[in-house]
Every structure is written in structure tokens, then in C-alpha cells.
Amino acid sequence: MWFQKLTWYRRIGTKISVLTSLLILLFMGAYTYLSIQNQRDQFLEQIVRGVSLLSDTIKLSARYDMLLYSPEGLHRLVDTLGKQPSLEKIRIFNFLGEIIYSSDKSEMHLQVDPRAEECYACHAAEKPLERLDTPERTRIFRTAAGDRVLGMINPVYNEPDCYNASCHVHPAEQKVLGVLDIRVSLRNFDEKIAEAEAKILTLGLITLASLALLIKFLIGRFLNNPLRALIEGTHRIAHGDLDSQIEIRSRDEIGIFAESFNRMTRDLKTAKESLTEWGNRLEQMVGERTRDLEEAQKRLIRSEKLASLGKLAAGVAHEINNPLQGVLTFSELLKERFPPDSSEFRDLNVIVQETIRCRNIVRGLLEFSRQSAPEKSSVDLHSLVEEVLRILESQESFQNIRVTRNYDPQIPNIMADRDQIKQVFFNILVNASEAMDNAGELRIRTHWCPERSQVVIRFKDKGPGVEDDYLHQIFDPFFTTKPVGTGLGLAISYGIIKSHRGNIEVRSKKGQGCEVVVSLPADVEN
């Protein structure tokens, strides 16, 4: 996954883990250092108190021998205590700095430099201190072997018991008679401190490692995993999967962010669906408008064609009508000169019939070319259809046609030219009768569309129908599928309906009959 390809040191969890671990290391290091120092100081303070107590005990124990001036008892006490393993040595100085006795016999009767560490506390000032506190009597130094040693001096003061005794010759003005010096080895103390430091450091490292692992786990659980889910969700959405939702496992900031992310995804999906739907609708509208434009272009071409043909038809009809009338008249006169059963009569009868047919074509051309503006009045379509049906039902060709009516009683009257609309209905019904070979069922249905303010009249026959290749030519002048016909009926009907600002269309399937739909506005007044 993309999150796993991210370099580990660039991840937020890694940065937080490292920074947190460094802070913990810093604080734990400071805490460990302060703890060790505090422990060291406490241990050293306990040792100093013990050595001070030991020094006071030795001085009190030797008090009686010093008052009696019995050095043997004092030497015996020093030798006995000097054999203790923890005591480095015990020495006694007189006020002149001479070692008068020591557990180390090699130092006997040596003179100590007043500037040495054993004497600096008493001789640091121009006038020796008469009283020294415990810290001022204590010093720590290293031996030649490198071991640390704690030394403590304990001045022996000239007390009244001393300078008043008959055996002593020390004047009362002499404040310090000598110094008891005790040296204690700190090797065991240093070893215990080192052991304690090692334990504390080990515990600190273990604690640091445990905290680091805990931090890593918590960051992975509460930060890395939710972030990974968010990143993977963004990549799924980037690849178009808007159904993807991030699982919300907490109510913290990341949970709120995941919830907002899911809401954004749902909004994006809704917007995409809306855009897709709008795009489909726009495409559909463009298709509809394109078809409308194509249909309008076809109507415009047809109208231009009809207008040009009308002008041509008017001229042709005017020039041909008179010669045809002469041919018809003289043919009728010639027929009277021959018996009905003669070949001449039959030939002249063919001439008469064809002339009459030409005259009908010329008459249709004249009607087509002389289409005038409709003279509109209020027309009841139902009564007009019934009037046309009464005319046709009296003809032999319409006797076997069964008419089914389904009229909408809510249809209002329309403003139209009654004679022109009557001619349209007449042409449609005649075409339907001829398509069914003068026998079959014809359905007439009307419908009122108030939302468009239109009336719709449908004429549906049970004839053979019209092939799809002929539908776009059905309203062209002189186009006909009948062996006998002028091909002007529907062209004239088309012009009349368009002059009424209506629409006429033919719907047909081969073998399923034909339906002519006429739509007229109900509010056309001019």
C-alpha cells in the first residue's frame, strides 16, 4: 500500500516516537543522575555521622587515660580499633603536629606539615579555630592505590579537668592539646554506590525501552493505523471509488476527521450522481433539440419545396387545364359516333378516363397552389369528424369500414378554418379506407392536453402499414404508394395543419397498421 511505501523516518508516528523517547531519555537521565547523587550524598552523610560518632567514642573512651596520663591504655585502644578492616588508620597528634601514636607504627614521631590535609582545618586561619563543625573536620582524598578515603579529625581541647590536674603542665591559655585523626576506607561504599548506580541505570534502560515500546504501540494503534486508513481512503476515492467509507473506531480528532471525510465522500458521490444525471439529461436534451432542429429543417425544406412547387403547379395547371377540357369534350363527342361494343368506343373511353384523371391532377395542383390563409372560426372537432364520416359512409367504398370512436368530452372548441380542417380529415379517412382495401376497422380517438393547450386527434387503421423507408417522404408532393393517386392529399393536409400552427405526423410499422396524429392548438385566434 502507499502508506507502507512511505519512508519510515518521514512518518508522523516515527517522529513522535523519536521525540518522545528523547524527552523521556532526557528526563529519566536527569532523574537518574539526581537520584544517584542524592543516594551518594545520603550514604556519605551516614558514613560521616558514623565516623564522627566513632571518633567521639574513641575520644571519650581515652579521656580517663589522658587525665591520668596513662599512655598505655590509650595505645592499647588505638591498636585494638586500628585492626578493624574498615579503618584505614588511627593517629594522634600533639599540638605541635607530631604524631605521638598511630596504628601504623611507621609513622610514629613524624612531624606533619601544618599545610597538609590533616591540619588545614585547624591552621587555615591566623588563629586556630577553637571549635570545628563536623563538615569542617571531614575530608575525602585518594590514596596512592587510587582508593578513596574518608578522614576525620577530632581536636582534643584543653578542658578545665586537664589544666587543673596536678599531673599536667598545660597552661589554661592553650586551647587545643592534640588531634585524633581517623581514616576510613570508602572502597566498600564506592562498590555499593557503583552497584546501586548499575541497578538504577539498568532499571532506567529497561523502563526507557518499555516506554518506547509502549509509545510505539500506542502511536501505531491510535495514530498510524487511523492515518493509514485515511490515506488508503483518499487513494480509493482518487481512483473513483466513492462507495468507500472509513471505519470510525474512536471519537477523538481522527475519528471526527474520518466522519467528516466520510461525509465529504457521500457528498462527492451525490454530486457525481447529480452531474452524471444532469449530463445524461443534457445529452438527452441535446438529442431532442437536434432532432427538433432536424425536423424543423426538414419542415423548412418541405415548406420551401411546397412553395416552389405551388408556384410551378399554378402555372402548369393554368396552361394545361384548357387543353385538357378540349380533349375531354371532343372525346365525349367522338364516343357518340361509335357503338358501345366497338373498339373505337373502348379506345375513346380510355382517352376520356385518362383525361378525367389528368383533370383531377390539375385540380389538385390548383388547390395545392391556391392554399390561402385560413379563415378561422369556432369549430367543434367532434361534429366536424362526424360530418366527414356521414359523407364517406354514403359511398360504396366505405360500406365495409367499421369505425370505433373514443372522444374526450373535455375537448374545447378550437379556432380554425372549418373547410380546410374538413379537407384534412377527408383526405386522412379516404387514405385509411384505401389502405385497408375498403374493408377493416378504423379507430378515431381524441384527447385534450391542457398543459400544452392542444387537442389531439388520432386516426388508426388496420391496414398493412408503411415501410420505414417511406415515412420521411409521406408528406412530399406526388409521393404515393397507391397504383392510382396524385400524391397530393397528405401534402395539402400538411400545409393546412402548419398554417394552423399545428402538427401532423404518421406513425406506422410494417404489418401493424398506420396511425395519423393531428395536433391543433386550442387558443389560436389569428
CATH of the domain at 483: 3.30.565.10
Q: Mean pLDDT, to the nearest integer, of 268-283?
A: 85
* The pLDDT of residue 481 is above 50: yes
Instruction: Report the pLDDT averaged over residues 144-165.
Output: 75
Total count of domains within the chain: 3
| Least confident stretch, 437-446, 468-477, 498-507, 515-524 | 468-477
The answer to whether residues 342 and 409 belong to one domain is: no
Instruction: Report the distance separating Cα 512 and Cα 171, nearest Å.
Output: 157
Region for residue 69 given its phi and psi (left: phi exceeds 0; alpha: psi -120 to 50; beta: otherwise): left
Domain assignment of residue 2, yes or no: no
| Local confidence band at 67 (pLDDT 50, 70, 90 cut-offs) | low
Domain endpoint, select from 328, 354, 370? 370
| pLDDT for res 436 | 83
What pLDDT was estimated at residue 351? Answer: 85
Query: Looking at the predicted structure, is the pLDDT value of residue 143 above 70?
Result: yes
pLDDT at 226 over 60: yes
**Shared domain check, 390 and 299:** no
Q: Does residue 185 form part of some domain?
A: yes
Q: Is the same domain home to 247 and 356?
A: yes
- How would you class 274 by CB atoms within 10 Å of its CB: exposed for 0-12, middle for 13-18, buried for 19 or more? exposed
What is the span of the domain harbouring residue 43? 13-192
pLDDT for 172 equals 64
Residue 517: pLDDT band (50, 70, 90) is: very high
DSSP-derived secondary structure for 372-396: -----EEE-HHHHHHHHHHHHHTSG
Residue with the bigger pLDDT between 301 and 12: it is 301
- What pLDDT is stored for residue 459 in this prediction? 93
Question: What pLDDT, in 10s, does the model give residues 419-446?
Answer: 888 888 888 888 888 888 878 888 999 9
Query: Residue 473 carries which side chain, given as an amino acid letter?
Result: Q
Question: Exposure string (b/e) for 294-328, b if CB count within 10 Å is 16 or more?
Answer: eeeeeeeebeeebeebbeebeebbeeeeeebeebb
Q: Which of 423, 358, 357 is nearest to 387 (CA)?
A: 423
Query: Are β-strands 439-449 and 400-406 bridged in parallel, bridged antiparallel, or unpaired?
Result: parallel
Mean pLDDT of 449-470: 86
Residue 215: CA atoms inside 13 Å, Cβ hemisphere, count? 19
316/319 Cα distance (integer angstroms): 5
Who has greater pLDDT, 523 or 215?
215
Tell me what pLDDT residue 1 has.
Answer: 47
- Specify whether the CB–CB gap between 62 and 154 falls below 8 A: no
Domain end residue (candidates: 154, 173, 192): 192
Whether 299 has a pLDDT exceeding 70, the answer reads: no
Measuring CA to CA, which residue among 133, 131, 119, 134 is closest to residue 157? 131
φ, ψ of residue 4 in degrees (nearest 5): -70, -25
**DSSP summary character for residue 331:** H
pLDDT value of residue 30: 83
Task: Indicate if 82 and 110 belong to the same structural domain.
Answer: yes
Q: What is the mean pLDDT of the chain?
A: 77
What distance, in Å, lies between the first and last C-alpha atoms of the chain? 74
**In this structure, are 283 and 338 located in the same domain?**
yes
Write down the pTM of the prediction.
Answer: 0.39
Query: Do 117 and 259 fall within a single domain?
Result: no
Q: How far apart are CA 70 and CA 294, in angstroms?
A: 145
Residue 221 lies in a domain: no
Q: Within a domain: residue 72? A: yes
Residue 167 has pLDDT above 70, yes or no: no
Tell me what the mean pLDDT of segment 253-270 comes to.
Answer: 78
3-class state of residue 475 by DSSP: coil
Instruction: Give me the helix-helix angle, 418-435 and 489-499, nearest 10°.
Output: 150
Give whichever of 18-32, 219-233, 257-271, 509-523 has the largest mean pLDDT. Answer: 509-523
**CA quadruple 362, 505, 464, 397: dihedral positive or negative?**
negative
Least confident of 44-53, 137-146, 154-163, 397-406: 154-163
